[in-house]
Amino acid sequence: MSLSSIRHLLSVSAIAAAALLSVQAAEPNVPQIGCFISTGDNHWLGESLPIDSPAAIEDSMALLARLGVKCVYWRGLEEATWMETMTSRPENCRYDSAFHWFHQLYRDVHPDKLAVEAAHRHGMEIWGVGTLVDWQGPGDTPNFNDFPNGFESRLRLDHPEWVPRDRSGLLKQCGPIEFAYPEARKALVDLHMKFVRQDGYDGMTFVTYAENYGMRFQDEFGFNEPIVKEFKKRHGVDLLTQPFTRSASRFDWYNLRGEYLTQYLRELKSQLQHDGKKLGMILNPFEPRFTQPWNVPQIMLTAGHITVDLDTYVREGIVDHLMVWGYCSPQIQNKAVDDCLWLTRATPCKVAALTSSPFAPRWKPFQKKGVTIAMSLGDDASYLDRSNIPEQPLAALSSDDPVLRMRVLAQIIYGKTKATTEQVTPLLHDHNVIVRRLALSALGKLKDPAAVPSIEQGLDDEENAVRCAAALALRDNNRPESAAKMLGAVDMHGTHPLMEMVFHTMPRIKPAPREVLAEAASKHANPLVRSTAMRSLVFMTDVKLLPVFAQGLHDSDRFVRFAAAEALGNVRHSTEAVELLLQALQHEDPTVSDRAATSLAVIVAAHFPETDPLRARIVTALGELYAKLGDGCQRSDAEWGYRPVGNALLKMGAEGEQILQRFMDQKSDRQLALEAWKTLWIRQDSKTFSEVTEKENEEAFSHLPAWLRPPAAAK
In this predicted model, which residue has the larger pLDDT, 18 or 243? 243
- Calpha distance 200→186 (Å, rounded): 21
Q: Is residue 257 in some structural domain?
A: yes
Q: Same domain for 146 and 236?
A: yes
Statement to judge: residues 630 and 516 lie in one domain: no
Q: Residue 322 is which amino acid?
A: L
Asked if 589 and 554 sit in the same domain, the reply is no
For residue 396, how many C-alpha atoms fall within 13 Å in the half-sphere facing its CB? 19
**C-alpha to C-alpha distances, 543 to 129, 502, 569, 598, 600, nearest whole angstrom:** 49, 23, 11, 19, 16
The answer on pLDDT for 19 being more than 70 is no
Structurally, the chain folds into a number of domains equal to 3
CA atoms within 13 A on the CB side of 28: 1
Task: Enumerate the H helices of 49-153 as residue ranges.
Answer: 54-66, 76-85, 93-108, 111-121
Instruction: Give the residue from 522, 543, 568 where a domain finishes.
Output: 568
561 with 640, same domain: the answer is: no
Residue 454 DSSP class? H
With respect to residue 39, please indicate whether it lies within any of the assigned structural domains: yes
Asked if residue 64 and residue 168 are part of one domain, the reply reads yes
**How far apart are the C-alpha atoms of 713 and 704, rounded to whole Å?**
10
Q: Last residue of some domain: 339, 354, 378?
A: 378
Instruction: Classify residue 207 by its DSSP letter.
Output: E
Look up the domain containing 225 and give its range: 32-378
Q: Are residues 522 and 612 in the same domain?
A: no
CA distance 187 to 23: 46
604 alpha carbon, distance to own chain's centre = 31
Residues 551 and 579 in one domain: no
Are residues 584 and 537 part of one domain? no
Residue 703, CA distances (Å) to 214, 220, 515, 556, 696 in order: 21, 18, 52, 43, 11
Neighbours of 120 (CB within 10 A): 14
pLDDT digits (tens, 9 = 90+) for 133-169: 999 999 999 998 899 999 999 999 999 999 999 999 9
- What's the rounded Cα separation, in Å, for the pair 657 and 668? 19
Query: Is 353 a residue whose pLDDT tops 70?
Result: yes
Q: What would the DSSP string read from start to end of 464-482?
A: HHHHHHHHHHTTTS--TTH
Give per-residue pLDDT as tens, 396-448. Answer: 999 999 999 999 999 999 999 999 999 999 999 999 999 999 999 999 999 99
Extended strands (E) in 89-214 = 125-131, 151-153, 203-207
Same domain? For 107 and 124 the reply is yes
- For residues 102 and 83, the answer to whether their CB atoms sit within 8 Å is yes
Cβ burial of 159 (10 Å; 0-12, 13-18, 19+) is: middle
The answer to whether residues 93 and 206 belong to one domain is yes
- What is the rounded CA–CA span in Å between residue 426 and residue 704? 68
The lowest-confidence range among 486-500, 668-682, 700-714 is 700-714
Q: Which residues fall within 8 angstroms of residue 242, CB to CB, at 6 or more apart?
A: none
> Given 327, 345, 378, which residue is the final one in a domain?
378
Q: What confidence tens digit (pLDDT) does each residue in 595-607 have?
A: 999 999 999 999 9
- CATH, residue 589: 1.25.40
pLDDT in tens, 448-476: 999 999 999 999 999 999 999 999 999 99
pLDDT of residue 3: 39
Mean pLDDT of 102-121: 98
Whether 469 maps to a domain, the answer reads no
> How many other CB atoms sit within 10 Å of the CB of residue 592?
25
pLDDT computed for residue 18 by the predictor: 40
Same domain, 223 and 133: yes
Domain-located, residue 670: yes
Q: Which run of H or E residues covers position 201? A: none
Task: Compute CA 603 distance to the chain's CA centroid, rounded to the nearest angstrom.
Answer: 29
Q: Which of 172, 181, 179 is closest to 212 using CA atoms?
A: 172
Q: Is the backbone of residue 415 left (phi > 0), alpha (psi -120 to 50) or beta?
A: left
In the structure, what pLDDT confidence band is assigned to residue 32 with cuts at 50, 70 and 90? confident
pLDDT at 30: 55
Q: How far apart are CA 507 and CA 492, in angstroms?
A: 21
* pLDDT reported for residue 192: 98
Assigned domain for 471 exists? no
Q: What beta strand segments (E) does 290-349 contain?
A: 321-324
Are the C-beta atoms of 669 and 676 separated by less than 8 Å? no
pLDDT digits (tens, 9 = 90+) for 36-80: 999 999 999 899 999 999 999 999 999 999 999 999 999 999 999
Q: pTM for the whole thing?
A: 0.94
**SS3 (DSSP) at 147:** coil
Rounded average pLDDT over 353-368: 96
Query: Predicted confidence band at 709 (pLDDT cuts at 50, 70, 90)?
Result: confident
Partnered with residue 166 across adjacent β-strands are 221
Rounded to the nearest 10°, the torsion over CA 597, 601, 602, 607 is 140
- In-domain check, residue 388: no
| CB 226 within 8 Å of CB 180 | yes
Regarding whether 287 and 238 lie in a shared domain, the answer is yes
Summarised one tens digit per residue, pLDDT across range 535-587 is 999 999 999 999 999 999 999 999 999 999 999 999 999 999 999 999 999 99
Which segments of 328-478 does DSSP mark as H helices, in order?
Answer: 330-343, 364-368, 380-385, 402-413, 421-424, 433-446, 452-457, 464-473
pLDDT at 713 exceeding the cut of 80: no
- The per-residue pLDDT of the chain, averaged, comes to 94
- Containing H/E element for 329? none
In a domain, 692, yes or no: no
Please check whether residue 3 lies inside any domain of the structure. Answer: no
Which band of pLDDT confidence, cut at 50, 70 and 90, is reported for residue 711?
low
Of residues 654, 633, 571, 639, the one with CA closest to residue 606: 571
